[in-house]
Amino acid sequence: MGQLILAIRFLTIVPVPGREPRDAAALGRAAWWFPVVGLVLGAALAGAGWIVDLALPPLAGAAVVVTIWKAVTGGLHLDGLADCLDGLAGHDAAARRAIMRDSRIGVFAAAGLALFLLLSVTALAALPPGTRGRVLVLAPVIGRVVPLLAGAWLPSATPGQGLGAAFATALPRAAGPVYAAVSLGLAAWLLGPWGVVLGLAALGLVLVVAAGTAARFGGLTGDVLGAAVELGELAVLLGAAALVRRSLI
């Protein structure tokens, strides 16, 4: 139960009672709960979206849902995405990691976050109401499976240092494959056969991007893992919008 409490507190701003483990490896062990938290978050977003749709047109409603989405998660993964975007401007891996540690936000991060949120809102608005709720359930799950796969696959940029390295070291290696299979089953249940294609494409694409980004930083970091969550969610939204346009879901 302590690992579930830690997962909820780390991934969201939802206050939950109880005590969490505080050792360095605790977050990695709590990774078993990450997609579960994503599923609950997705169900809550789908419910919020249904309510919002009763009062607002699609674009405004999508903006409200995305705002709730990022607020409930405390902007944690957006911070990782922003740091990665700024860090990529460095001339070598050490300089890039130094830029990432700087708390100030640069032009790459500012522009990237604006475009990222614009894509999220417009992709969500493009989904018909019935499909939108199902995609909202799936996207946070896929997003939280990606770091389980990337953490087990990619080497750390600073072994033994930082939250990302501690997470990857203690991460159960079976968690990623198990939840990848579960998430694809969920995608099939929610969206049919094309949902499986969507899930596979989102997971594969974001893992490739995470690997390329990690290579630029000399290995995996906590910010790369956070960015991978956001990109996984966006990949599901954009992929679903593309499938809807072709009347495949």
Domain assignment present for residue 201? The answer is yes
> pLDDT, tens digit, for every residue of 121-142?
999 999 998 899 999 999 999 9
CA atoms within 13 A of residue 154's CA, in its CB half-sphere = 32
* Residue 29 domain-assigned (yes or no): no
pLDDT at 91 over 90: no
Q: Is residue 106 part of a domain?
A: yes
The closest alpha carbon to 131, from 57, 63, 37, 53, belongs to 53
pTM: 0.94
Domain that holds residue 219: 34-244
Q: What is the mean pLDDT of residues 72-99?
A: 89
**What's the pLDDT score for residue 137?**
98
Report the pLDDT value the prediction gives residue 24, as an integer from 0 to 100: 63
Identify the DSSP state of 158.
S
The CB density around residue 23, as the number of other CB atoms within 10 Å, is 9
Burial 118-152 (b: 16+ CB within 10 A, else e): eebbbbbbbbeeebbbbbbbbbbbbbbbbbbbbbb
Q: How many domains does the chain have?
A: 1
| Domain membership flag for residue 9 | no
82 within a domain of the structure (yes/no): yes
Structure tokens at 23: 């050792």
Identify whether 75 is part of a domain.
yes
226: nearest Cα among 170, 182, 177, 162:
162
* pLDDT tens by residue, 229-239: 999 999 999 99
Does residue 13 fall inside a structural domain?
Answer: no
pLDDT class of 22 with cuts at 50, 70, 90: confident
The predicted structure's pLDDT at residue 37: 97
Asked if the model's pLDDT at residue 21 lies above 80, the reply is no
- Domain for residue 21, yes or no? no
